[in-house]
Amino acid sequence: MASTLEWKFPQKPVQFLRIEVATIALIALLVLALTSLQFNSPVFAVIFTLIFLGIYIVLSYLTQLIRLVEERYQLTPTHFEVKRKTRFKTKIEKILLKDVHRHKVDRVFLGGYLVSKKKKHLLYFNTKKELQQFEQFLKKHQKK
């Protein structure tokens, strides 16, 4: 295994997070149900749900174009570094692995966090492979 592990999030220019899709799907079902009860017509319910989804997709796309969010993660045997970059600012966090109290990853939504002495650090992954490599690397080097 390599001495460092690196990944960039997001890899694709336009991407919806899995948790975002799940949340929007639930809200869309709620809009569908409430408008069908309100108007007693499935046609209006479908139209309003499609309008809601269309507005959400357009606003999400515009937000991504304006902010240009990018996160670069680098994990070494001694520390974890996160470089969060938007169009307007760049923030770098460096966490020593000995300061990490615990970590948790979510294999369904491809996210997670590290808890250090200072705060909680959020993690985002593009694939399950990246998530598994991160977890294996962290477990291997955190024991030392």
- pLDDT number for residue 144: 52
For the cut 50, the answer to whether the pLDDT of residue 17 exceeds it is yes
Q: Is the peptide bond before 10 cis (omega within 30 degrees of 0)?
A: yes
Give me the mean pLDDT over the 64-75 stretch. 90
How far lies 120's CA from each of 33, 62, 77, 87, 124, in Å? 37, 29, 20, 24, 13
CATH number 3.40.228.10 is the correct assignment for the domain at 5-11+70-142: no
- pLDDT number for residue 2: 64
Give me the mean pLDDT over the 5-12 stretch. 87
Task: Kindly report whether the global pTM for this prediction surpasses the value 0.85.
Answer: no
Average pLDDT of the chain?
Answer: 89
